[in-house]
Chain A
Amino acid sequence: MSERVDISDISGRKLSGGKSIDTEELTGKTFPYQFDPSLVEDIDLYASTPGEDLNWLEDIELMTEDGIPAVFDRYTNAFLKIHFEIPEGRENEYARKVLIKHLQSGNSYGVWLKHKHAKFPQPELGSWLAESETVGQNWQPPQLDGWQKPTGH
């Protein structure tokens, strides 16, 4: 996995104040592959998905958020904006490659939450990358300090 981002560091966070909640809002970060198409060129979409075709990526298309091209990350429920110029006719291909790069890099906000909140065993980086660490094997329910179990339970 790539270097883990410290999500407690919000020094670089810039809130748009808009109606939308995008990945940059949630993480307080942007990522290099949002700006440089060469970083996603070698992504193999077919190898990254189950089955013989694009499978779930068939539903992933280039959209816009705040007037900027963006791809929707359903594992975070947020848009990931794409700031580089996309060649005409390859809009969906680049949207899919940026999304898969984002997921495989472990930068999806939903992936960050897995370490603490996954209740059942699952690969940290989902089904998009082989040899991913397993998380969720030893989940314990959260408990507030000083909380006492109600009688009768």
Chain B
Amino acid sequence: MEQVMQAPTKPGRYDIRGLAEPDAEAPRTAVISGTTAELDAADLSTRRINLELRRLLHEEGVTDITLHNPKARHSIAVGLLLRCRITIEGSLGYFGCGLADGAEIHVKGRVGWSVAENMMSGVVVIDKNAGSLTGAALRGGDLVVRGHVGARTGIDQKGGTIIVGGNAGSMTGFMMQRGRQIICGDAGPGLGDSMYDGVLYVAGKVASLGVDCVEEEMTDADNELIDRKFGIYRLDRPDTFRKFVCGKQLYNYDTLEPSERKLVL
């Protein structure tokens, strides 16, 4: 994969924020039309793409951006902490759309590891497949993958809803603490391993359950949630959903310090 890099203007300068190109500037190449903009990322580095997105959103008043030629670069469209719409015409690499709070992002391709990790709120829709760690540490919002996902989907999930149109890999919902996952296809071995809380719905086969994950009866509220989400994202609902939750045999919250309790809220 081609990765376009821009030489820093001051080689070797240390940036406390850990930026790879601390002196990079927004390229100002986007074509703006009112509150919408088109950005061709073909010849831009990751840093400059993200700088241009921030410039458009914060300085130009743009609220709807279409990004062309993402070339599966990593860490694109991260840290967008405002209401906006981003359409990505292609695929992303690792850690795409992470740390979002309010953005509504549509990726018309595939994504690598950890898409939408740590999202606080918003909507991320992936039209094709996603890699492992999809929605890692998700805090809120909806993450929809219309294709398959890899292993450990929603690891450490603390809120929000992950919807998978296809199959999910092993250890789906590993260490999940809150939130919901709706898997339309099969789930690999170790479903819900060491989950503390939250709900996993699986319509296909489950290879095996993880430690302290148990099946529970579906309720009207469960069906309302699934129907509502599938209506919003125009997904066909299978009739065979089963519900899996924490068995709470390893549940020792009463002894936790108050500050630790807040980590999962």
Contact = CB atoms under 8 A, between A and B. Distances in A.
Interface in B44-71: 54, 58
Contact of B140 (A59, A121, A132, A134): A59
Contact of A51 (B120, B142, B257): B142
Contacts of B232: 51-53
A145 interface: no
Sorting the interface of chain A by its residue count into under 10, 10 to 19, 20 to 34 or 35 or more gives 20 to 34
SS class of chain A's interface: helix, strand, loop or mixed? Answer: loop
Contacts of A21: 258-259
Interface string B15-26: 011000000000
A126 B58 contact: no
Contacts of A6: none
A20 B260 CA distance: 11
A127 B82 contact: yes
A147 to B, nearest CB: 13
B179 interface: yes
B146 to A, nearest CB: 16
A16 interface: no
A52 B140 CA distance: 14
Contact of A59 (B101, B178, B257): B178
Given A20-B258, A119-B17, A123-B81, A56 B140 contact: yes
A49 to B, nearest CB: 7
Given A50-B102, A126-B101, A134-B58, A56 B17 contact: no
Given A51-B123, A56-B139, A137-B58, A122 B159 contact: no
Given A50-B104, A51-B141, A77 B123 contact: no
Interface string A39-61: 00000000001111101101100
B140 A72 contact: no
Interface string A86-97: 000000000000
A121 to B, nearest CB: 5
B224 to A, nearest CB: 11
Nearest to B229: A53
B188 interface: no
A56 B262 contact: no
A58 B121 CA distance: 10
B109 interface: no
Contacts of A4: none
A35 to B, nearest CB: 23
Given A20-B258, A56-B139, A72-B262, A49 B81 contact: no
A128 to B, nearest CB: 8
A95 to B, nearest CB: 12
B79 interface: yes
Nearest to A142: B16
B102 A58 contact: no
A149 to B, nearest CB: 10
B179 A77 contact: no
27 contacts: A19-B257, A19-B258, A20-B258, A50-B103, A50-B121, A51-B104, A52-B232, A53-B228, A53-B229, A53-B232, A56-B120, A56-B140, A58-B140, A59-B159, A59-B160, A59-B178, A59-B179, A74-B120, A74-B139, A120-B17, A126-B81, A127-B81, A127-B101, A127-B122, A134-B58, A141-B16, A153-B14
4 closest A-B pairs by beta carbon, nearest first, are A127-B102, A56-B140, A56-B121, A59-B159
Given A77-B262, A120-B17, 4 more contacts: A20-B258, A51-B232, A72-B265, A127-B83
